[in-house]
Amino acid sequence: MSENRYNVFNQIHKGLRALLYDTAVCIQQTDFSSDAASATIEKVALVVNLFDEHAHHEDTYLLPLVTAHNAALVAEFENDHEIDHKLSESLRDHTAAWAAATTAEQRITVGQSIFYAFNEFIAFNLYHMNKEESILLFTLWKHYPDTALLEAEHAIVQSIKPETLMIESQWMMRSLSNPEIIQWLTGVKMGAPEEVYAAYLQLAQTELPAERWQAIERALQPTAAVA
Average pLDDT over residues 10-37: 98
Find out whether 182 and 220 touch, Cβ atoms under 8 Å.
Answer: yes
pLDDT at position 227 over 50:
no
Average pLDDT over residues 156-182: 97
Percent with pLDDT over 70 in the chain:
96
Give the model's confidence band at 78: pLDDT under 50 very low, under 70 low, under 90 confident, else very high.
very high
Give the model's confidence band at 223: pLDDT under 50 very low, under 70 low, under 90 confident, else very high.
low
Residue 4: predicted pLDDT: 81
Give the model's confidence band at 225: pLDDT under 50 very low, under 70 low, under 90 confident, else very high.
very low
Q: How many CA atoms lie within 13 A of 34 on its CB side?
A: 8
Average pLDDT over residues 129-144: 97
Q: Report the residue count for the chain.
A: 227
pLDDT at position 224 over 60:
no
Give the model's confidence band at 222: pLDDT under 50 very low, under 70 low, under 90 confident, else very high.
confident
Residue 226: predicted pLDDT: 40
Q: What SS3 class is residue 117?
A: helix
Q: What SS3 class is residue 70?
A: coil
d(CA 221, CA 202): 15
CATH level 2 (architecture), domain 10-160: Up-down Bundle (1.20)
DSSP designation for 59? I
d(CA 157, CA 169): 11
Per-residue pLDDT tens digits for 96-119: 999 999 999 999 999 999 999 999
Per-residue pLDDT tens digits for 38-59: 999 999 999 999 999 999 999 9
The per-residue pLDDT of the chain, averaged, comes to 95
